[in-house]
Amino acid sequence: MTEPKIMIDLQNVSKWYKDFQVLTDCSTQIRQGEVVVVCGPSGSGKSTLIKTVNGLEPFQKGQILVDGISISDPKTNLNKLRSRVGMVFQHFELFPHLSITENLTIAQVKVLGRSEAEAKQKGLAYLDRVGLSSQANKFPAQLSGGQQQRVAIARALSMDPIAMLFDEPTSALDPEMITEVLDVMVELAREGMTMMCVTHEMGFARQVANRVIFMDQGKIVEDCTKDEFFNTQRGERAQQFLDKILH
Amino acid sequence: MEWLTAFLNDLQLSGPALWHGFTITLKVLVMATIGGILIGTLLALMRLSSIRVLNLFAQGYVNLFRSIPLLLVLMWFYFAVPFFYTALTGNYLTIDTALVSSIVAFMLFEAAYFSEIVRAGIQSIPKGQTAAAYALGMTYGQSMRLIILPQAFRKMTPLLLQQTIILFQDSTMVYAIGLLDFFRTNYVRGDLMALLTQYILFAGLVYFSVSLIATYAVKKLQRRLTV
């Protein structure tokens, strides 16, 4: 059996804020259908790393290929590439001045050039999949945090992405709302979506992750399969982190 | 009470002229506000841009117009525009120079103030909104036009209106270049009929009432927008 193709390929990515190095030689590959969880203490650079993947954070050294296309190549149409990669943010970032339906359709129409009707049909289908079809005409502020995040996932999926990036999707949620978001993510993972998730939800990692990346001080310290990560002795720093987070 | 009845009698005759003056004031106000907001928005975008030339231009513009008296700007345009027009084309201007100068001067002057309001408005929108727009594949123009500016303008509307009320009062300065706006119409009529005190008082009352009512309306709007 041939291995699935590499969707996200990070090669020695380094980034500095002035003199301060935030990422040091980060390399990893995510293949189609793979679910990779990125974890690590706060300030370890994991959010910065995931944001370099769709060019939201520039980097100074190294290379990132998404579906074979270089992010940093000046010839790359970055907007087009971004429209093919879904991203879910810690603070949802739904557009508060637009209704839920408009949130789902605006980029489909303006970026992908779909018709209003087609965009609406697609958006509402995904809204239904995250279990919120009754909220279509409301505004983001009328929804709970968990519901907003599910809409945000539906919004990203409406663009038919080739991969999804999750940047701490549950960190800003009340505990009772975390599950509803994780359930959607688990379902997505099981359907074969390529996913890179920055999260502290180790339950999610155990359930669906193929691999776990552990970061500390801007470096990728561990990059191994889920079983290796949870069941075998890891490096000192990762072990400390795991002991704390799993008590 | 004779001074009042004399005035009220004359007011019936001067009514149409005063109304015409008021429409001139409104014309200057509306055009200057719309133009000022458009230019101000462009300046704000330039000011926030990472392109150094644009940034410096916007900074220079705002500093320049905030550092010279409005009256001077008004006069420059009044004298300079026909001068340059004639110098460049050899023809004389046939338009109402006073009105056009007033509109252009106020537009450019207010743009400096509006740009600061718009800039603050844009900066008040969380960075994540831009990130989300970009992540969906939007260009800079799309993210500004569809996502950031609509939210920013909603937040700034009370401030922009407040600035417009100030402009409404400042527009009386067109007096200096002889434009017959509401205030100058009052002045001229009062001077002519020896009812100057009454007419000036009346003009003051009108400016006061309009501004007060508008301010009250803006406060009410602000409360509704923040809920």
pLDDT above 90 covers a percentage of chain B that reads 50
pLDDT above 70 covers a percentage of chain B that reads 98
CB of A190 within 8 Å of a chain B CB? The answer is no
* Tokens coding A70: 């270089």
Looking at residue A1, what is its pLDDT? 57
CB of A93 within 8 Å of a chain B CB? The answer is yes
Diameter over CA atoms, chain A = 55
Residue A140 clears pLDDT 70, i.e. is over it: yes
**Which of B134, B136, B138, B147 is the best substitution to test chain A (most A C-beta atoms within 10 A)?**
B136
Nearest neighbour of A83 by CB, restricted to B126, B136, B150: B136
Q: What average pLDDT does range A174-185 have in this prediction?
A: 89
Nearest neighbour of B139 by CB, restricted to A79, A87, A112: A79
Q: Are B137 and A155 an interchain contact pair (Cβ–Cβ within 8 Å)?
A: no
Residue A122 clears pLDDT 80, i.e. is over it: yes
Give contacts of B137 with chain A, Cβ < 8 Å.
79-80, 82-84, 107, 111-112, 159
Residue B198 clears pLDDT 80, i.e. is over it: yes
Give contacts of B128 with chain A, Cβ < 8 Å.
89, 91, 93
Total number of domains in chain B: 1
**Which of A110, A112, A142 is the best substitution to test chain B (most B C-beta atoms within 10 A)?**
A110
Q: How confident is the model at residue B226 (pLDDT cuts 50, 70, 90)?
A: low
Q: What average pLDDT does range A149-156 have in this prediction?
A: 94
Q: What is the mean pLDDT of chain B?
A: 89
Residue B76 clears pLDDT 90, i.e. is over it: no
Instruction: Report pLDDT digits (tens) over B37-69.
Output: 999 999 999 999 888 999 999 999 999 998 998
Q: Which residue range is the domain that position B168 belongs to? A: 2-225
Q: What is the mean pLDDT of chain A?
A: 91
Looking at residue B10, what is its pLDDT? 84
Q: What average pLDDT does range B192-211 have in this prediction?
A: 90
Q: How confident is the model at residue B4 (pLDDT cuts 50, 70, 90)?
A: confident
Looking at residue B86, what is its pLDDT? 79
ipTM for the predicted complex: 0.93
**CA dist., res. B217 & res. A191, Å (int):** 55
Q: Are A111 and B150 an interchain contact pair (Cβ–Cβ within 8 Å)?
A: no
Give contacts of B126 with chain A, Cβ < 8 Å.
91, 93
Instruction: Report pLDDT digits (tens) over A52-86.
Output: 999 999 999 999 999 999 998 888 899 999 999 99
CB of A83 within 8 Å of a chain B CB? The answer is yes
Can you give the CATH number for the domain in which B107 is found?
A: 1.10.3720.10
Amino acid at A129: R
**B-proximal residues of A, 22-61, CB under 8 Å:** 51, 54-56
CB of A85 within 8 Å of a chain B CB? The answer is yes
Q: Write the CB contacts of A210 (distance below 8 Å, at least 6 apart in sequence).
A: A34, A35, A36, A225, A226
Looking at residue A42, what is its pLDDT? 85
Q: How confident is the model at residue A164 (pLDDT cuts 50, 70, 90)?
A: very high
Q: What average pLDDT does range B166-177 have in this prediction?
A: 89
CB of A77 within 8 Å of a chain B CB? The answer is no
Give contacts of A110 with chain B, Cβ < 8 Å.
138, 142, 146
Looking at residue B45, what is its pLDDT? 94
Q: Are B136 and A107 an interchain contact pair (Cβ–Cβ within 8 Å)?
A: yes
Note whether B181 and B25 are within 8 A (CB): yes
Q: How confident is the model at residue A127 (pLDDT cuts 50, 70, 90)?
A: very high
